[in-house]
Structure 1
Amino acid sequence: YLVDAARVLEVAQAQASRIMGSVRKRAVELVEEVERRASERLDQARREAEAAGYEEGLRQGREEGLQQARELLERLEALAQELVVLRERLLGLHEEDVVKLALAVAEKVIGRAAEEDRELAVRTVHHLLTQVSGAREIRIRVHPDDLPQVEPHQEMWKRLTEGTRTLAIVADDRVPPGGAVVETEFGAIDSSIETRFREAGEALMVVLRGES
């Protein structure tokens, strides 16, 4: 599974790239299928309309029957135009929308992996503490389900952070599984999956807007 915050970002970007390609491919397939069915239905409806016009013309006068046939064809042409608009909307998905969708799907996939990897929170906290320097008060917040895996490392982490007077570990259900928030008198460091995905998304948006 994931090793640290950098790995989360790397996996998210790779997953987003794969899903973007899959979404584009599926959109094209969907449009082609809609167009094929619409074309078949339009041909069938034209034949039915012509037949209806002929039979109606025999019974009530050819002109009246043909008028009904024309009205039916107009409705079908309107439907065809709506399909054209739909096609343009599907194929014209903005890259930013695709990125958002891809990141949302990737976040769910990696989130499930984080729930299964019970040691991820331990690695996350350890990584964050390597970025803490000179703090005398440290408070670590993790998901309640991760608390049993994290608490045994408390003394070791306190020795790791030289000069720390107190190091407390608390459960917080606002922190997602596998994530952690380290708070000191200097501020907080958040390494949750949601935060990393938000940062990845913002970085990708900047790149896309720079290329547009």
Structure 2
Amino acid sequence: MSNLFKIVSVNHTPVIIESIVFPEQGPENDSEPEPKLEPEFDYAAAREEMELCINEAKIEAQRIVAAAEEKAQHLMDETQIQAEAIKQQAYKESYDLGKQEGYENGNLEAREEMKQAIHTAAEKAQKIISTAEQEAVNMITDAERKIIDMAVAIARKIVARELEENPTAILPIVKEALNKVRDQESVTVRVNPEDFEMVLMAKGDLQMMMGNEQAVSIVSDQTVAAGGCVVDTAFGTVDARLDTKFEMIHKAIQDVSP
């Protein structure tokens, strides 16, 4: 499972990306089966919906481009017919005049008119195809964005389920955040009230990890969502809130998407 730590510092400390590792759980009591949560989200259905979304977008995009190509070809065919009609008309007019000069002038004018008609038609045809191709790209891009949103939403649900099933999952998140500021003399860890007791119970381990000479304070903060934490120091803040992580994940996926 991915984890992103965002460092915000007065000294413009760079963003740091790390990994979250939830502790593996063993059965607390061999005589009791591991509790199973009732499914709250149909992940298979969500995956099927995402696949259907992108497939429908691709099919519609192909249909749009094919229709545009057919329309462009029809336009070129009509232009060729018109060009041939212009040529025949010029020949007839010059023939009726019965003069070589009239034939040559009429033929020259006809060729120029044909050339211009074909050029104009070709430009229109290319514009039709280009517009359709762009529309197809936009359609697939929109579908990909929807899939990204759905994927992040599913990830949120998975993390929420993990935290609900395993309250100690907050501890590795706090430790990873503290590991980034081990050189600080004192730190304040802000966590959601739901996580406060669990983190407070682990304060001894956290203090040992940081070093006895360093002060570690645990504070309950309603503004920090459950499952994440914020570590304050004299020189900056480690933002390890889940919302921050998911926002960065969402942005990272969008940035690498074509």
TM-score, with length taken from structure 2: 0.47
Provide the secondary structure at the position in 2 that maps to 1:138.
Answer: strand
- 5 Å-filtered alignment, 1:1-212, equals 6-7=19-20, 22-25=49-52, 92=140, 93-162=142-211, 164-208=213-257, 211=258
CA distance in structure 2 between the aligned counterparts of 1:130 and 1:137, rounded to whole angstroms: 13
Gaps of 5+ in 1: 9-15, 33-87
Deviation at 1:165, TM superposition (A): 4.0
> Alignment RMSD, CA only?
3.5
1:115, 1:177 within 8 Å by CA — same for their partners in 2?
Answer: no
Q: AA paired with 1:25?
A: L
1:134, 1:164 within 8 Å by CA — same for their partners in 2?
Answer: no
Deviation at 1:169, TM superposition (A): 0.2
Q: AA paired with 2:49?
A: S
Q: AA paired with 2:200?
A: E
User: Structure 1 residues 27, 196: closer, same or farther in 2, change over 3 A?
Assistant: same
Q: Which runs of 4+ in 1 moved over 2 A?
A: 2-5, 18-22, 26-29, 91-94, 162-166
Q: C-alpha offsets along residues 44-80 of structure 1, whole Å, 9 cap, x if unaligned?
A: xxxxxxxxxxxxxxxxxxxxxxxxxxxxxxxxxxxxx
Q: AA paired with 2:226?
A: P
Percentage of pairs with the same residue:
24
Deviation at 1:7, TM superposition (A): 4.0
The structure whose residues are more often helix, as a share, is 1
Gaps of 5+ in 2: 5-18, 22-42, 60-135
- The count of residues paired between Structure 1 and Structure 2 equals 144
Q: Which moved more, 1:93-102 or 1:144-153?
A: 93-102
TM-score, with length taken from structure 1: 0.56
Deviation at 1:207, TM superposition (A): 0.4
2:54, 2:143 within 8 Å by CA — same for their partners in 1?
Answer: no
Tell me the equivalent position of 2:118: none
1:3, 1:120 within 8 Å by CA — same for their partners in 2?
Answer: no
